[in-house]
Amino acid sequence: MLARLFVVFAVVPVLELYVLIKVGKLIGAWETVAILLAVSFAGAWLVRHQGFAILSRIQGELAAGRLPAAELLDGFLVLVGGVLLLTPGFLTDFLGLAFLIPAGRFVLKQYLRRWLEQRLARGAVIIRRY
Contact 100, 76 (CB under 8 A): no
Task: Look up the pTM and report it.
Answer: 0.81
Task: Give residue 98's Cα distance to chain centre.
Answer: 7
**What is the tens place of the pLDDT at every residue in 106-118?**
999 999 888 888 8
DSSP-assigned states of every residue in 77-123: HHHHHHHHHHS-SHHHHHHHHHHHSHHHHHHHHHHHHHHHHHHHHHT
Over range 19-29, report the average pLDDT. 95
DSSP-assigned states of every residue in 9-42: IIIHHHHHHHHHHHHHHHH-HHHHHHHHHHHHHH
**What is the tens place of the pLDDT at every residue in 81-109?**
998 988 889 999 999 999 998 899 999 99
| Helix-helix angle 90-100:102-122, to 10 degrees | 90
> Percentage of the chain with pLDDT > 90?
55
Q: What is the pLDDT of residue 107?
A: 93
| Chain mean pLDDT for the chain | 89
Per domain, the residue ranges of the chain are: 2-122
Q: What is the dihedral of CA 72, 75, 77, 79, to 10 degrees?
A: -140
